[in-house]
């Protein structure tokens, strides 16, 4: 069965994009990964209207990618911070892969906006598709694709 004969209804890329494929969602998760937690910080930094931001955050919380944590500053009412869940942190490789591509093809001539390095040795980090058995970075031609048990015929 060729790829074009396989239904995309349950394609995992499609299902991931159903959660984070909306404009701004990945940019909010990027900010969350860099430590932004508060509504006003997201709004100012990502550059979104209150209405759109409220909607996007609500969807990301509903999807279990962000969770809300109450906080209260003296003299103010209780508000909520937004924090990545484990499910949200598991999108980190997506963000890192987009970053890597953006640096390569749309980067600044003078270097990175943010340096991301391995904490213990200082080497710049890299996203790779690997063989976990051999710890070998793979090219697309090193990978074999065949229909799995959940594949269905396209109708």
8 Å CB contact between 137 and 130: yes
d(CA 73, CA 55): 24
Which listed range, 53-61, 70-78, 114-122, lies at the site for its own copies (CB under 8 A)?
Answer: 114-122
d(CA 17, CA 148): 21
> Smallest distance, Å, CB 122 to its own copies?
8
* Token output for 15: 């299902």
d(CA 85, CA 66): 5
8 Å CB contact between 48 and 24: yes
Which listed range, 54-62, 67-75, 113-121, lies at the site for its own copies (CB under 8 A)?
Answer: 113-121
Which listed range, 23-31, 49-57, 69-77, lies at the site for its own copies (CB under 8 A)?
Answer: 23-31
Q: Is 27 in the site for its own copies (CB under 8 A)?
A: yes
> Smallest distance, Å, CB 154 to its own copies?
7
* Token output for 76: 């103010």
The site string for its own copies over 117-136 (x = CB under 8 A, - otherwise) reads xxxxxxxxxxxxxxxxxxxx
Q: Is 113 in the site for its own copies (CB under 8 A)?
A: yes
d(CA 85, CA 87): 5
Window 35 to 94, contacts with its own copies (CB under 8 A): 35-36, 41, 44-47, 64, 87, 89-94
Among all chains, which residue has been given the structure tokens 């070998």? 136
Q: Give whichever of 1 and 69 is closer to its own copies, judged by the CB atom.
A: 1
Out of 3, 50, 52, 69, the only residue in the binding site for its own copies (CB under 8 A) is 3
């Amino acid at each position: 069965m060729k790829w074009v004969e396989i239904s995309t209804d349950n394609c995992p890329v499609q299902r991931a994009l159903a959660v984070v494929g909306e404009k701004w969602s990945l940019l909010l998760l990027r900010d969350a990964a860099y430590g932004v937690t508060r509504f006003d910080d997201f709004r100012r930094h990502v550059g979104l209207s209150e209405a759109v931001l409220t909607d996007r955050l609500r969807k990301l919380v509903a999807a279990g990618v962000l969770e809300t944590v109450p906080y209260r500053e003296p003299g103010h009412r209780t508000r909520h911070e937004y924090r990545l869940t484990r499910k949200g942190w598991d999108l980190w490789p997506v963000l890192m892969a987009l970053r890597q591509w953006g640096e390569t093809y749309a980067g600044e001539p003078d270097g990175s906006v943010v340096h991301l390095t391995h904490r213990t040795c200082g080497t710049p980090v890299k996203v790779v598709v690997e063989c976990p058995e051999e710890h070998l970075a793979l090219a697309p031609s090193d990978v074999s694709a065949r229909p799995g048990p959940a594949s269905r015929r396209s109708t």
